[in-house]
Structure 1
């Protein structure tokens, strides 16, 4: 027999069996084949295209002391993580309670200050700054820097995609200093000194790391090149303004024909403005001596840089 259609509020995301009981759903309906039971007391429609955050709602609805945290909070907030991070769900309770215990969940017990927990789409989740601090004992230094770059990134009105920061570097620092004995704090403090505003992707952070690791001067982010009538025309990924050198990262999308043509126009505009563009691919960042280095070094030397 075909299962009765679920009420609209249960057709996406997770929900609790208590909520279902309150809506009049029978126990047999909750055992139907179109529902998954990822953990005790939680159901999720099998054909569910909702966001990760919506799929997590049932976990905090079941327990008003639990908070989505750690790597799971980072994924739900769109913070880029290394590919080795798995889909395990992390939940936290503040110190004084017990660890969250249920199938498929890694439970944590930690001190959560009042401003470190937010309600987002009906889900209790650690704040952006607290989420970043929790990542400090999971991630290597430069992956933590990339996560911080994502959170503090902002662009002004002259950028084609203006955006406000999710949180500020000062908020990251203040949250870190509020937990003197936090696991991973040394990693967090080192990362705070390396986070910069203006990186749009982990690859842009990686470009900066490779340059600095190999003795190049630190590049500048959020640089805008202006054309006629002071119109913004080029937005380098990273740049050396004093040497008029623009570095652009070419990802997989750059293999598309339209993007390739845009890249040619951008390089021509850059040259017209008296700048030199250095294009960098993923392969240019790999290895003990990445091939990006001689490219950038030659460009800097041509522009008058002295080692």
Structure 2
């Protein structure tokens, strides 16, 4: 029976530099050519037990081994490391390099060239990564507007950075591309947003001309008892707007939602519920329904105030 090849403990899971492993006597070049090891990048390998081709964290670890001093993982890859998962797990790793350094082009790496202040880079799980503030600053100014708001909302919601901190960072930063958009993004960012689709739904409303709704609004009955919390709300008209993701279809969650919906209706609230299809493919329909609800509530309020 063939013996199982011994795997050095320090090479069992994480990517490593092949040349360093050979120099330290942990492996030979011939061993690296065997089936137990995967070559991720030039001179960067990982053991078969740790190889997960769709794991963005593995690719961040691999790319980090090739970065020169002054470089850092940035953008959506930095956000991913901070716990904000807005990219496909097979997306290339975003890095920023000093302008004088020109590495060999790699399919798994997207490179930006500029010099980062030392205060904009930190260590996270032994990787050089842009700070949450710098990550939000870059995503907010360089991504398409809607995606920029989604990213900044997500970083704010996880309390990785504060809105006033970003405003101060922006005010102190020298002019650079995307500053105008970033100002707009910060003006409509919402720290209470709980998901990217909630952010998209809010933007559909605001961009469609509706008033900005309150996020994560808590509803209480006439006795002051807590009834429920809604994704978005127009309290002055008792209109609640909810995003319905697939998780709402789970049986236990569905029962809770029905009970909460009935309680809200008993308190005089109108609840509008929208799906991803509504938000992404039929935003005009969303706007029309919301404006109709606002008009009906206004008319009802006026009729109530009018003398009989």
State TM-score, norm by structure 2. 0.82
Given that 2:40 and 2:62 are in contact with CA atoms closer than 8 Å, whether structure 1 keeps it comes out as no
Corresponding pairs, count: 294
Note the C-alpha offset of 1:228. 9.4
Q: Which residue of 2 aligns with 1:158?
A: none
Shift of 1:18: 4.5
- Cα deviation code 1:7-45 (max 9, x no counterpart): 333222322224423362222222222322121121123
- Name the structure 2 match of 1:206: 200
Q: 1:140 to 1:107 in 2, by over 3 A?
A: closer
Aligned to 1:25: 27
State the partner residue of 1:296. Answer: 290
Aligned residue in 2 for 1:36: 38
Cα distance 1:38–1:137, how it changes in 2: closer, same or farther (>3 A)? Answer: farther
Structure 2 unaligned regions, length at least 5: 302-308
Partner of 1:143: 147
The aligned residue for residue 13 of structure 1 is: 14
Alignment of 1:13-92 (within 5 A): 13-21=14-22, 22=24, 24-48=26-50, 52-65=56-69, 66-81=71-86, 87-92=91-96
Contact 1:92 1:100 (8 Å CA) reproduced: no
- 1:187 is paired with a residue of what secondary structure? helix
Q: Distance in 2 between matches of 1:75 and 1:120?
A: 12
Q: 1:176: how far off?
A: 3.4
The answer on whether the counterparts of 1:90 and 1:106 sit within 8 Å (CA) in structure 2 is yes
Q: Matches of 1:6 and 1:231 in 2, distance apart?
A: 61
Q: Structure 1 residues 261 and 80, CA, compared in 2 at 3 Å: closer, same or farther? A: same
Secondary structure, aligned partner of 1:167: coil
User: Structure 1 CA distance, aligned partners of 2:26 and 2:237?
Assistant: 70
- The CA deviation at 1:113 is 1.5
Of Structure 1 and Structure 2, the greater helix share is in 2
5+ residue gaps, structure 1:
154-163
Residue 223 of structure 1 is matched in structure 2 by 217
CA contact (8 A) 2:76 2:87 kept: no
Q: Offset of 1:218 from its aligned partner? A: 0.8
Aligned to 2:254: 260
1:103 matched to 2:114? The reply is no
1:273 deviates by 3.1
Q: Distance in 1 between matches of 2:222 and 2:9?
A: 54
SS of equivalent residue, structure 1 residue 223: strand
- Per mean C-alpha deviation after superposition, the further-off stretch among 143-152 and 188-197 is 188-197
Instruction: Quickly say closer, same or farther: Cα 1:32–1:246, change in 2 above 3 A.
Output: same
Counterpart of 1:175 (choices 163, 169, 184) is: 169
RMSD: 2.9
Structure-2 residue corresponding to 1:156: none
2:304 equivalent in structure 1: none
Contact 2:80–2:87, Cα closer than 8 Å, also in 1: no
TM superposition shift of 1:121: 0.8
Rg larger in structure: 2
TM-score computed with the length of structure 1 as normaliser: 0.83
Quickly say closer, same or farther: Cα 1:288–1:223, change in 2 above 3 A.
closer
